[in-house]
Amino acid sequence: MEPSTTVLIARELAQAIAGHRLLPGTKLAEQKLADHFGVSRTIVRQALHQLAQKRLVTLEPARGAFVAAPTVQEAREVFAVRRMLEAEMARTFAREGTPAMVRALREHVARERAALDDQDTAGSVELLGDFHVRMAELLGNEVLAQILRDLLSRSSLIALMYQRAGAAAHSQEEHVQIVRALAARDAEKAGRLMEEHLRNVEDSLAFGLPRPTHDISQALAA
């Protein structure tokens, strides 16, 4: 069954958020979105409600919809959940993954490296996040893949707000190490490396940075 227009719009907006093309705090004006997609404001409103349920958008009475700006507590909770899910996913992949599945991941990390070498910031951010979803897809677990897509979209917002420079290159190197453990079918090492990787990503976040704002008065007051 083909996805509905509402689902397609929500998916495109989520991809724009994950790809850092829509910044935290950006106002999502219903009429502008309706004009862009060639649909009614009702359809747009339904898509925004879907994204609000996934915590990618906040809906404010009398003000409208905005790209979410995760708090420090939300960021820590997202990474806690990811460690629980993805460490076990890595162990399962090491036990069940075929040589073809490992090759697919190796090809993916090669694309990550190429994007970083080309200084393609948007491309490298998207690929680094997709690595985790790709593992779930290769395992054939679409439920897990969808959960990770939602978590990765939230992680992208978190990274945009708090991540220090240089963290992306370090993440790519850790992906390479994870794939090596998967190829060796070392389940415990793969799980440990995945958990350490996600903890390192969280540790690279500078939670002391001021939250970005699109309010000119607030920005100038700082």
- The pLDDT value given to residue 120: 83
191 and 179 within one domain: yes
- Largest pairwise CA distance in the chain: 57
**pLDDT of res. 210:** 54
Q: What is the pLDDT of residue 219?
A: 37
Please identify, among 51, 69, 87, the residue that sits at the C-terminal boundary of a domain: 69
Give the pLDDT confidence score for residue 70 in this predicted structure.
87
- Whether residue 219 lies inside any domain: the answer is no
**CATH number where 98 lies:** 1.20.120.530
Do residue 54 and residue 153 come from a single domain? no
* Same-domain pairing of 145 and 36: no
Domain count of the fold of the chain: 2
Whether 24 and 69 have beta carbons less than 8 Å apart is answered as yes
Q: Are 159 and 97 part of one and the same domain? A: yes
Residues 91 and 24 in one domain: no
Instruction: Give the per-residue pLDDT at 216.
Output: 37
Of 69, 87, 111, which one is at a domain's C-terminal end?
A: 69
**Residue-range definition of the domain harbouring residue 37:** 5-69
Domain of residue 22, CATH code: 1.10.10.10
Is the same domain home to 119 and 136?
A: yes
Distance CA 156, CA 185 (A): 30
Residue 57 in any domain: the answer is: yes
Same domain, 149 and 172: yes
Tell me, what's the pLDDT at 222?
44
Radius of gyration of the chain (CA): 18
SS3 of 132-147: HHHHHHHHCCHHHHHH
Stretches in the chain below the pLDDT threshold 50: 1, 215-222
Is the residue at 163 inside a domain?
yes
Q: What is the pLDDT of residue 212?
A: 52
Q: Is 222 inside any structural domain? A: no
Q: 188 and 85 in one domain?
A: yes
Task: Judge if 105 and 58 occupy the same domain.
Answer: no
Query: Distance of CA 218 to CAs 37, 69, 169, 210, 222, Å?
Result: 32, 15, 33, 12, 7
Residues 60 and 80 in one domain: no
Residue 129 in any domain: the answer is: yes
Domain boundary among 38, 69, 100: 69
Q: 76 and 64 in one domain? A: no
Query: In the beta sheet, which residues pair with residue 89?
Result: none
Q: What is the pLDDT of residue 166?
A: 65
Give the phi and the psi of residue 163 in degrees, each rounded to 5.
-75, 140
131 and 28 in one domain?
Answer: no
